[in-house]
Amino acid sequence: MPARQRRLLAAAFTAAACLGAQSLALTTAGAATESTASADVVSRGVTIPAFYTPPTTLPTADGTLIRTEPLPLALSLPGLDGTLPGTATRLMYKSTDSNGQPVAVTGAYIEPSADWSGTGPRPLVAVAPGTLGQGDQCSASMGLEHPLSLNSQTVSVGYEDLAIYRLLAEGVAVVVTDYVGLGATDRLHTYVNRTDEAHAVLDAVRAARSVGGASVTAASPVGLYGYSQGGGATAAAAELQSSYAPDVTLAGTYAGAPPADLTSVTEAIDGSELAGALGWSLNGFLQSDPDLKPLAEAHLNDAGKAALTDLSTMCVADALLGYGYTKSTSWTTDGQSISDIIASTPALKDFLDSQRIGTLKPSGPVRLATGVSDNLVPHAQARGLALDWCAKGANVTYKAVVLPGVGSALLNHFAPLLTDQTDAISWLTDRLTGRPAVSNCWTMPVQP
- Residue in 181, 190, 179 with CA at minimum distance from that of residue 290: 190
- Tell me the residue type at 240: L
Top pLDDT among 433 and 33 is at: 433
Q: Is a pLDDT exceeding 70 seen at residue 18?
A: no
Q: Is a pLDDT exceeding 50 seen at residue 168?
A: yes
What DSSP character marks residue 300? B
Determine phi and psi for 153, rounding to 5 degrees. Answer: -115, -20
Question: Average pLDDT, stretch 341-356?
Answer: 95
SS3 191: coil
- Residue in 44, 30, 98, 33 with CA at minimum distance from that of residue 311: 44
Residue 78: which pLDDT band, with cuts at 50, 70 and 90? low
**pLDDT of the residue at 189:** 98
Rounded percentage of the chain residues whose pLDDT exceeds 90: 88
Determine phi and psi for 376, rounding to 5 degrees. Answer: -100, -55
Q: 273 with 238: CB under 8 angstroms?
A: no
Give the chain's length: 448
**Residue range 411-425, pLDDT digits in tens:** 999 999 999 999 999
**pLDDT of the residue at 126:** 98
**pLDDT of the residue at 75:** 80
Q: 412 with 376: CB under 8 angstroms?
A: yes
Question: Average pLDDT, stretch 163-175?
Answer: 96
Mean pLDDT of the chain: 91
Residues facing 69 on adjacent strands: 90
Q: 155 with 147: CB under 8 angstroms?
A: no
**pLDDT of the residue at 79:** 59
Q: Is a pLDDT exceeding 80 seen at residue 29?
A: no
- Tell me the residue type at 40: D
Q: Is a pLDDT exceeding 70 seen at residue 21?
A: no
Residue 81: which pLDDT band, with cuts at 50, 70 and 90? low
Residue 119: which pLDDT band, with cuts at 50, 70 and 90? confident
**Residue range 275-329, pLDDT digits in tens:** 999 999 999 999 999 999 999 999 999 999 999 999 999 999 999 999 999 999 9
**pLDDT of the residue at 322:** 97
Question: Average pLDDT, stretch 85-97?
Answer: 97
Contacts (Cβ under 8 Å, ≥6 apart) of 17: 23, 75, 147, 161, 162, 165
**Residue range 222-258, pLDDT digits in tens:** 999 999 999 999 999 999 999 999 999 999 999 999 9
Q: 50 with 65: CB under 8 angstroms?
A: no
**pLDDT of the residue at 282:** 97
Residue 39: which pLDDT band, with cuts at 50, 70 and 90? low
SS (H, E, C) the chain: CCHHHHHHHHHHHHHHHHHCCCCEEECCHHHHHHCCCCCCEEECCEEECHHHCCCCCCCCCCCCEEEEEECCCCCCECCCCCCECEEEEEEEEEEECCCCCEEEEEEEEEEECCCCCCCCCCCEEEEECCCCECCHHHCHHHHHHCCEEECCCCEEECCCHHHHHHHHHCCCEEEEEEEECCCCCCCCCCCCCHHHHHHHHHHHHHHHCCCCCCCCCCCCCEEEEEECHHHHHHHHHHHHHHHHCCCCCEEEEEEECCCCCHHHHHHHHCCCCCCHHHHHHHHHHHHHCHHHHHHHHHHECHHHHHHHHHHCCCEHHHHHHHHCCCCHHHHECCCCCHHHHHHHCHHHHHHHHHCCCCCCCCCCCEEEEEECCCCCCCHHHHHHHHHHHHHCCCCEEEEEECCCCCCCHHHHHHHHHHHCHHHHHHHHHHHHCCCCCCCCHHHHHHCC
**Residue range 394-408, pLDDT digits in tens:** 999 999 999 999 999
**Residue range 330-342, pLDDT digits in tens:** 999 999 999 999 9
pTM tops 0.75? yes
Top pLDDT among 194 and 39 is at: 194
Q: Is a pLDDT exceeding 90 seen at residue 365?
A: yes
